[in-house]
Every structure is written in C-alpha cells, then in structure tokens.
Structure 1
C-alpha cells in the first residue's frame, strides 16, 4: 500500500513538471520601476539602493520616514498632487541623518515602528484625498 502511494505521488509530480516549467518561464523579473500613479517619482538616494543587506534596516527607516512625512503632508494641506505625495527624498534623508544615523539597530527599528504608526494614522484621511485626486 505504501509503495503504491509513493508511486502515485511520483507519477503526479512528473505529470505536473511541465506545468511548473511553463509557469516558471512566464515569471520574468524586471528591475524597471513602474507605477500606476505618479509614474515620474523621485528615485531613492543611491546610497539606499546600494546599502549592504546587513544594514537594510537603515533603508527601511528612511522609507518609513518618507511615507509618514508624505501622508501627513497630504492630510495637512489637503492636496494629493504628485509633488506632494511623492516629493524628493531630501527631507526624509535629512531627518534620518540628523536624528538616527548614529543610532543602534534596535533604536532604528523602534523609530521605524513609530513612523509606521504615524503613517497608518494618516493613511485613511490621505487615501480619501488622494482617491479624489486620482493619485492612490
């Protein structure tokens, strides 16, 4: 009985192999950025794109700062044009360098949590404004 089950599983696996191969061929990775809204966004600073994997938490913190600042700005001014929602990274990068660059990893992770809470608090109001502008 057990041998029959193994043979049945082997036969099933072999019959699915062409399906997996076709699906795998259809997955073509790309490094090109494409967005549904505000397609001409500013790129992340080069140092963030090239940061070593062991220091990725620094990049995540700058991304979290950027997201929180931008969603809060949208709500504050009630405008969601592309320049407001996706400005340059200068302000987020400056905040990181002034307040967090010398912090330990755990401190940066805590700061990321705080910025995520801020972004999530502003998200609903920002989404309503951005939906109306067609930029969500």
Structure 2
C-alpha cells in the first residue's frame, strides 16, 4: 500500500514537472545557421513542393550536400561559398538525371548521394573545423 502511494506520488510529480517543462518549450521559426550566415536559401519551388513529392526534395538536398563536400575536399578549403554554394548545380543535376525518374529510382539515388556525401564528410570535416566553419 505504501509502495503504491509512493509510486502514485512520483507519477503526479513527474507529470506536473513534464507539463511545466513542455510549456516552457517555445518553438522558433527563426533558422539562423551557426556558420556562414549568408547561406543561399533553398529554391522556393523546393520549399513549396507537394508533400507527396517530398522525396524529390530530399534527393536535391543530398546532391547539394555531396557537391558541397566534394568541393571542400577538392579545394582543400572551407570558405563559406565553397561550403554553401548556389543551389543551381544541384538543381541542374536533378533536372538532367532524375526529373523524370520513378519513385524508387529517386529513393535509390538519394541513398547513393547520402552515402557518398557521408564518405566525403570525413575528409571535409577537419578542413572546415580548421576554418571555423563546421
């Protein structure tokens, strides 16, 4: 009986604390990057893409990430324009290679670009850390 009362008391305290903590979380719509504050925004059409086609947006994001990591490694430089280039090249790759692709082809390409970018990330990260852009 005492144990049940103790457990009930702990649950009341936990729920009250969780409720207070949840009320203190205020979401922010401001998305200010920690590095390179002048990063080019995603093209507007990507931000407004239909939810059912969001897999296409993911592919373009991974193409962009891959190209960025490749540029850093190739140049051995991580200045802001190298780390965050224009979206034009990634859009061009998407349009030329994947715009008319089927869903599963896009999903497979997204995975391949993600893997490749992750491999390049290992080499790019120390370059960017040295430049203070990681």
Q: If the length of structure 2 is used for normalisation, what is the TM-score?
A: 0.90
* Moved segments of 4+, more than 3 Å: 7-12
Matched, 1:58 2:52: no
Matched, 1:39 2:30: no
Look up the match of 2:85: 87
Helix, strand or coil for the counterpart of 1:70? helix
2:103 to 98, 105, 118: 105
Shift in Å, 1:13: 2.8
More displaced, 20-29 or 9-18?
9-18
Distance 1:130 1:39 in 2: 15
Distance 2:128 2:58 in 1: 24
Unaligned runs of 5+ in 1: none
Shift in Å, 1:10: 4.4
Equivalent pairs, count: 133
Look up the match of 1:135: 133
More displaced, 117-126 or 57-66?
117-126
Distance 2:122 2:38 in 1: 24
Unaligned runs of 5+ in 2: none
Distance 2:99 2:8 in 1: 54
Matched, 1:25 2:46: no
Shift in Å, 1:42: 0.7
Shift in Å, 1:22: 1.4
C-alpha RMSD over aligned residues = 1.6
Distance 1:124 1:67 in 2: 13
